[in-house]
Structure 1
């Protein structure tokens, strides 16, 4: 495998995490519309905000690395939140599952050593930032769900 192929694989792996974050944002958005004002504020602060920051940072990391390495970049689009539900918990469960999937993809990418072998310091720093935001949302998700509606 050439270095260019390996770097493209690295970008593809990062893109999988970005796609999961996009899904989480879409489903958090649907849940937001069904929550009371207090719960909306908590959702924004504890879950949506960190995931939105992770999504933006991941996209910037992806694009900047592709540009630095002369690889094709892509645009990430908004996701569908899935089948309509009247219960915000359905959307929250979907979103939290997507956050967990994003974190798993990012962990796998970092554990693969591809960012060290084929990446650069900027890419590794970007991945670390994204992981921090995602971990924050994941850690707070259990408390949010336990206290929802209280």
Structure 2
């Protein structure tokens, strides 16, 4: 493997990490919002958003770690950031979750458009990226809809 290929694969992992970090942010703020919502709204948010974000986050992490392992690259551990102070309120947390989901989608689009998955990736990576992107894309509309209906 040439040095350039190794660098390109590491760049691919770094770009994927951006999306994973945004999904981690979405999970953190959705968890904080859950604590501030009434029981019915919290349960609906969990069903409509949290589980989907959790699934996309887990799948993206597995994609990252399995690609790194296949090519003997350095993997990494992802952690959820602090969501911020509860005084921001549930709506602010929900809006931030929507923004983080949008940013994760943007990062995945940029990664796929970069051609790195084709040039230095493999079929499994491309398939996994497409799956994660499909999961995240579905969440975008749900997040906007949930925020729009929140408080009504």
| Same fold, TM-score > 0.5, yes or no | yes
Secondary structure, in 3 states, of the residue corresponding to 2:145? helix
Structure 2 contact 98–144 (Cα < 8 Å) conserved: no
- Show CA shifts across 1:20-79 (max 9, x none): 100110000000111111111211111111111000000000000000001011111121
Is 1:90 aligned to 2:88, yes or no? no
Q: What residue is the counterpart of 1:8 in the other structure?
A: 10
- Show CA shifts across 1:69-128 (max 9, x none): 010111111211024325200111111111111110000000111101110111111111
Q: What residue is the counterpart of 2:149 in the other structure?
A: 147
Q: What residue is the counterpart of 1:44 in the other structure?
A: 46
Which aligned segments of 4 or more residues in structure 1 are displaced greater than 6 angstroms?
A: none
CA distance in 2 between counterparts of 1:137 and 1:100 reads: 9
Structure 2: which 5+ residue stretches go unaligned? none
- Equivalences for residues 23-102 of structure 1 within 5 A: 23-102=25-104
Structure 2 contact 20–104 (Cα < 8 Å) conserved: yes
Structure 1: which 5+ residue stretches go unaligned? none
Tell me how many residue pairs correspond in the alignment: 150
TM-score if structure 1 supplies the norm length? 0.95
TM-score if structure 2 supplies the norm length? 0.94
Q: What residue is the counterpart of 1:133 in the other structure?
A: 135
The root-mean-square deviation of aligned C-alpha atoms, in Å, is 1.2
